Structure 1
Amino acid sequence: MNARSRSNVVVTGRSDGPVVLLAHGFGCDQNLWRLVVPELAERFRVVLFDHIGAGKSEVASWSPERYASLDAYAEDVLDICAELDLRDVTLVGHSVSAMIAVLAVNRSPERFAKLVMLTPSPRYIDDGDYRGGFSRADIEELLESLESNYLGWSAVMAPVIMDNPGRPELGDELKDSFCRMDPEIARVFARATFLSDNRDDLAKVEVPTLVIQTARDAIAPQEVGRFVHTRIPASELVTLDATGHCPQLSAPEATAEAITAFVSTP
């Protein structure tokens, strides 16, 4: 099966516009971009896809051995770019896909014009002077909870990740997205996500980069966004007037505007 079918690739927007490739985060699928796509599609050729094991991807292509690290997800992104012959791409990665995007850009920089990292974290676990927001014990407890009762974990964690208590429907949507994922796939992806350390990969990024964070994020605190910004030489940092880890849902207009302004700047 080709990459387009395997990853449920959808292309929309202006066929003659700059390419914007949207990569979703853990437990999600391309549907979570739906509120920012209309604005982006007015000016850009927008390419969406589902990571293998998520959404309407070809689940039979998933294996625990291949997808035990983020490298395989980066290879999938490059396969999509090659099959569609995408060039001068702005790759937008949300959450863990921000690091998947870093790996893809570093592996084939000739494909990419720009990089957008939405609420990124190169390492979730604190390490010496580095503050990722979690202790190792925190992460081990999180993974143990996820592995023992994935549906219960989803119900508890989704509102925390979304962090918009006045809009409970957003947390419900994220919970439902989590619950659609096969628990075994979620377990492997969660370990690849929360135990990864991509700090050394940041300095290798050579394309102009936009780091987008929110004013309050329980998963990727502001100091993490500042760390990413300082480590990527050609980067700028934008803090949205929003809360939570998924501003494409909680603040779609501001998120789309930040991406549009960055892509449109020569």
Structure 2
Amino acid sequence: MNLTQKHALTVTGRPDGQPVMFAHGFGCDQNMWRFVAPEFAGTHRVVLFDHVGAGRSDLRAYDDQRYSSLEGYASDVLEILHDLDLRDVVFVGHSVSAMIGVLAAIREPDRFAKLVLVGPSPRYIDDGDYVGGFGKADIEAMLESLDSNYLGWSSAMAPVIVGNADRPELGQELTQSFCATDPAIAKKFARVTFLSDNRADLAKLRTPALILQCADDVIAPSVVGDYVHEHLEGSTLVAMNATGHCPNLSAPAETVAAIKAYL
């Protein structure tokens, strides 16, 4: 199976430009970057893709064993970079894709120039002194709810995740995106995402990273952004005015400006 079909791969922008790869979060697809990615097309080679199970990806490519951890998704990122023969890549990862990018860059640091981590979290569950934002019981209850009624969970959770209650259309869009994801795969990806623990991986990263931290982010609160910044050597932390967990949707101009200032 070719990777264009597997990941609904789209490559635009300047063929000779530095590559910028945008990776979407849980329940989303590459469409979530539609207000951000075009702003780089004049200067960069822009790479967009869907994780297997999301968007227009080929569901036949889903493999339980491969995607039982975030490493499988990191392998997909590296496969795409190999296939397109890309180096000096700026990887922009939203939510769980931030950690997927970290894992990929640890494995093949020569492929990456910089990482941009949008709302990253190395672990969602509180653990001793570590604050992830959720108790273990909270996550178990959420996964149980997701298992029993994925569509109901989506319509309840999406507006909370995106924040910006005064702009209900954003919550509606994320709900529709969740509902367009294959439910069986989404349930498995949710477990991999929300039960992951990548704290020990942060110290292994040698690629410079920008952390974009939103205000009032229930999924990755500011204390988590601070933790990532403290544990990623040479990282840059930007506290955004944007609220919620999806600044690529809610505040694309601020997101673009922060990334361009860093690059």
TM-score where L is the length of structure 1: 0.97
- 1:114 counterpart SS class: strand
CA distance in 2, matches of 1:147, 1:63: 19
Offset of residue 8 of structure 1: 1.1
Partner of 2:162: 162
- Structure 2 gaps of 5+ residues are none
Residues 67-216 of structure 1: matches in 2 within 5 Å? 67-216=67-216
Q: Matches of 1:80 and 1:4 in 2, distance apart?
A: 9
The residue aligned with 1:19 is 19
1:255 is matched with: 255
Report the Cα distance in structure 2 between the residues aligned to 1:46 and 1:2, rounded to whole angstroms: 19
Structure 1 counterpart of 2:171, one-letter code: G
Distance 2:64 2:157 in 1: 23
Matched-pair contact (CA < 8 Å) for 2:90–2:115: yes
In structure 2, distance between residues paired with 1:236 and 1:25:
21
Deviation at 1:61, TM superposition (A): 0.5
- Helix, strand or coil: the match of 1:206? coil
1:204, 1:215 → 2: CA distance?
A: 28
Q: CA deviation at 1:66?
A: 2.0
Q: Choose 56-65 or 133-142, whichever is displaced more.
A: 56-65
Write the deviation string for residues 3-54 of structure 1: whole angstroms up to 9, x where unpaired. 2321111011122211100010000000000001221212211100000111
- Partner Cα distance (1:40, 1:250) in 2: 18
TM superposition shift of 1:234: 1.5
Residue in structure 2 matched with residue 57 of structure 1 by the alignment = 57
The worse-fitting range, judged by mean Cα deviation, of 47-56 and 11-20 is 11-20
Partner SS state of residue 203, structure 1: helix
Offset at residue 237 of structure 1 (A): 0.1
- Conserved? CA contact 1:3–1:76, under 8 Å: no
Q: Would the aligned equivalents of 2:22 and 2:37 in 1 still touch at CA under 8 Å?
A: no
Does residue 46 of the first structure (1) align with residue 46 of the second (2)? yes
Kindly provide the amino acid, as one letter, of the partner of residue 122 in structure 1.
Answer: P
> Quick check: 108-117 or 10-19, which moved more?
10-19
Whole-Å separation in 2 of the counterparts to 1:159 and 1:258: 24
Structure 2 residue 234 is the aligned partner of structure 1 residue 234:
yes
Inter-partner Cα distance in structure 2 for 1:167 and 1:146 = 24
Percent sequence identity over aligned pairs: 62
Is 1:125–1:136's contact at 8 Å kept on the other side of the alignment? yes
CA–CA distance in structure 1, aligned partners of residues 83 and 4 of structure 2? 7
Greater shift in the superposed pair: 39-48 or 28-37: 39-48
Q: Which runs of 5+ in 1 are unaligned?
A: none
**CA distance in structure 1 between the aligned counterparts of 2:215 and 2:42, rounded to whole angstroms:** 28
User: Partner of 1:9 in structure 2?
Assistant: 9
TM-score normalised by the chain length of structure 2:
0.98
Conserved in 2, the CA contact under 8 Å of 1:118 and 1:213?
Answer: yes
1:63 Cα deviation from its structure 2 partner: 2.2
Report SS of the residue matched to 1:196. Answer: coil
Structure 1: how far apart are the matches of 2:91 and 2:84? 14
Q: Which amino acid aligns with 2:75?
A: E
